[in-house]
């Protein structure tokens, strides 16, 4: 595991985007695992800039980590009224690059058969040859994707009930500013499992800000535990890059500024 600490969020985002761009250049038909949330937005902005400078996404395949259950993208709705992760990805990255529509995979939150969809999502990843690089954030309680505390470290794609901490954080980040009542936000989500994530050949995990400092220290230097699902990075056998800004890294006991 390589821990990279940058002075600012902007520098962190550029470093992460460069790692992804290197993967694409080395393997133009690579498979990327993508994350939502506020943290990767800067990375996506950098990838859009690199695309304008010639980075080609035409053969790239993507698989998103998760989606709210009961929510789906409707391009006829204004962004503020559509809090689906599909819409987020469309707005923040996918509509700005030359990726083919058939190469984009995001769990369908409007599915009538979630169990079947989850099994098929796993099969689609396998058919694509597995994920070459998985981009990850980390929740304030240490979760990856929607793998809430207590999730098995061998879990697969499934429906997960969201904890109060996740509901509170996501309401503040997305639903409150959109004027959507808290009781109307989804309480369940479709998520890749920890076992699924750990099969990626490379992981890039991002964290920014002082609010993430305590949980980053627990995930990277504390015990490996299902109560902090991101701690699974300690048992990951592939190439792991943890890219932090100085604030997120401030509680780590042994770090080197790079």
Does 143 qualify as catalytic in the annotation?
yes
Torsion of CA 245, 1, 118, 35, to 10 degrees: 20
The tokens describing 135, both together, are 């981009």
Token duo for residue 44: 């996506």
CA distances to 93, 99, 121, 216 from 49, rounded to whole Å, are 11, 15, 30, 29
Question: What gap in Å lies between CA 132 and CA 164, rounded to an integer?
Answer: 33
Of the candidates 67, 132, 143, 169, the residue annotated as catalytic is 143
Catalytic residue among 66, 108, 132, 160: 66
Please state the length of the chain: 258
Give CA–CA dist 13/209, Å, rounded. 13
> What span, in angstroms and rounded, lies between the C-alpha atoms of 40 and 38?
6
Query: CA-to-CA distance for 48 and 135, rounded, in angstroms?
Result: 16
Report the Cα 147 to chain-centroid distance in Å: 11
Task: Give the span between the Cα atoms of 203 and 212, in whole angstroms.
Answer: 18
Catalytic choice (141, 160, 169, 245): 141
CB-based contact 138:144 (threshold 8 Å):
yes
Catalytic residue among 46, 132, 148, 169: 148
Which residues are tagged catalytic?
A: 66, 141, 143, 148
């Amino acid at each position: 595991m390589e821990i990279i600490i940058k002075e600012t969020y902007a520098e962190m985002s550029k470093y992460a985007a460069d790692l992804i761009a290197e993967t694409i250049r080395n393997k133009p038909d690579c498979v990327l695992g993508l994350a939502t949330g506020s943290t990767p937005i800067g990375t996506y902005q950098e990838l859009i800039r690199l695309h304008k400078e010639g980075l080609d996404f035409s053969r790239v395949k993507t698989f998103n980590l998760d989606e709210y259950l009961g929510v789906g993208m409707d391009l006829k709705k204004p962004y503020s009224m559509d809090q689906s992760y599909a819409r987020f990805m469309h707005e923040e990255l996918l509509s700005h690059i030359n990726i083919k529509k058939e190469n984009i995979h995001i769990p369908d939150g409007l599915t009538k058969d979630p169990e079947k969809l989850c099994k098929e999502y796993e099969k689609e990843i396998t058919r694509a040859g597995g994920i070459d690089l998985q981009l990850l954030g980390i929740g304030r309680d240490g979760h990856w994707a929607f793998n809430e505390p207590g999730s098995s470290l061998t879990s697969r794609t499934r429906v997960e009930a969201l904890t109060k901490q996740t509901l509170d954080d996501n309401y503040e980040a997305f639903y409150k500013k959109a004027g959507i009542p808290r009781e109307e936000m989804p309480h369940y989500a479709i998520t890749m499992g920890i076992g699924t994530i750990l099969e990626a050949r490379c992981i890039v995990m991002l964290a920014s800000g002082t609010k993430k400092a305590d949980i980053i220290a627990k995930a990277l230097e504390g015990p490996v535990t299902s109560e902090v699902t991101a701690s699974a990075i300690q048992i990951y056998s592939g190439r792991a890059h943890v890219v932090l800004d100085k604030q997120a890294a401030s509680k780590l006991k042994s770090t080197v500024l790079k």
